[in-house]
Amino acid sequence: MMKHILLLLFLGSYSLILHAQIKDPKATEVWEPEPRVVTAQSMAAPSDAIVLDGSAWVQKDGSALKWTDENGVLTVVKGTGPIFTKEKFGDCQLHVEWRTPTVIEGEGQGRGNSGIFLQKIYELQVLDSYQNRTYSNGQAGSIYKQTMPLVNAMSPPGEWNTYDIIYKKPHFNADGVKVSPAYITVLHNGVLIQNHTEIRGTTPYVGLPKNPAHGDDVIQIQDHGNPVSFRNMWIRKL
């Protein structure tokens, strides 16, 4: 115990000596490495982003996109199934603009429903939650069946919504045991709705989260039978 106390006293004294010796402000300046230059404009993908237009997506079987693709707007075609990016991703910054149908049909989970699945298994809910009550951890902006959004920042039906997502993937050891969870931060129309939220595992409709070991994987967008539209999607690997 005495040895530990002496060590702490020594380290504390050494730190004080170092601080006392630093008189030049340049001593604490860091010049290398220099952050690389990235250009960005409002509503446009940054210069180092991967644009997720129609050519970036395929159907589950790898076939060409079956959703409509008109002037850069992808719209769910009921029954065609989800779409998947051709490329796999892990830690990322993802920008997605989405719109629920102007004509309101259904209620609750049956109204303007889709979803964005990071690494193919963690769902960030897409839903028409404008004056449309459903379970809170299933409304727009929720980590599906896990964490409700901090607020409801939904635009009215027919108007565009924006998700800006910062995602940190989970890590697993050699035995397949999760050693660090996934985290997600989401801004919905510029409003913070998920603040470094832990994703506890998969996001199933029935049952509790599971944690199968996995690596980087594709992004999936759901076909839930509603003609939800998406545009101006881009991603940056972090």
Q: Is residue 66 part of a domain?
A: yes
Over its length of 238 residues, how does the chain's per-residue pLDDT go in tens digits? 555 654 555 555 556 565 668 888 888 778 888 888 878 777 789 999 999 999 999 999 999 999 999 999 999 999 999 999 999 999 999 999 999 999 999 999 999 999 999 999 999 999 999 999 999 999 999 999 999 999 999 999 999 999 999 999 999 999 999 999 999 999 999 999 999 999 999 999 999 999 999 999 999 999 999 999 999 999 999 9
Nearest to residue 111, comparing CAs of 103, 122, 120? 103
Q: Is residue 28 part of a domain?
A: no
Structural domain total, the chain: 1
Q: Where are the alpha helices (DSSP H) in the chain?
A: 2-21
Q: Is residue 8 part of a domain?
A: no
Degrees, nearest 5: CA angle 100-102-103: 110
Can you give the pLDDT at residue 17? 61
Joined together, the tokens standing for residue 232 give 């101006």
Nearest to residue 188, comparing CAs of 233, 155, 232, 230? 155
Strands 57-59, 191-199: pairing is unpaired
Q: Is residue 12 part of a domain?
A: no
Can you give the pLDDT at residue 124? 98
Joined together, the tokens standing for residue 172 give 């697993």
Can you give the pLDDT at residue 137? 96
Nearest to residue 50, comparing CAs of 77, 11, 86? 86
Neighbours of 25 (CB within 10 A): 7
Range of the domain at 101: 50-237
* Alpha carbon distance 76, 180 (integer Å): 34
Neighbours of 189 (CB within 10 A): 16
Can you give the pLDDT at residue 51? 98
Residue 235 CA, distance from chain mean position: 10
Q: Is residue 10 part of a domain?
A: no
Contact 91, 168 (CB under 8 A): yes
Can you give the pLDDT at residue 22? 82
Q: Is residue 142 part of a domain?
A: yes
Q: Is residue 87 part of a domain?
A: yes
Joined together, the tokens standing for residue 44 give 């446009």
The residue ranges of DSSP E strands in the chain, in sequence order, are 50-51, 57-59, 68-70, 73-75, 83-85, 92-99, 114-118, 122-126, 160-168, 171-172, 178-180, 182-188, 191-199, 220-221, 229-237
pTM of the model: 0.88
Can you give the pLDDT at residue 29? 74
At 55, which CATH number?
A: 2.60.120.560
* Alpha carbon distance 3, 33 (integer Å): 40
Q: Is residue 179 part of a domain?
A: yes
Can you give the pLDDT at residue 203? 97
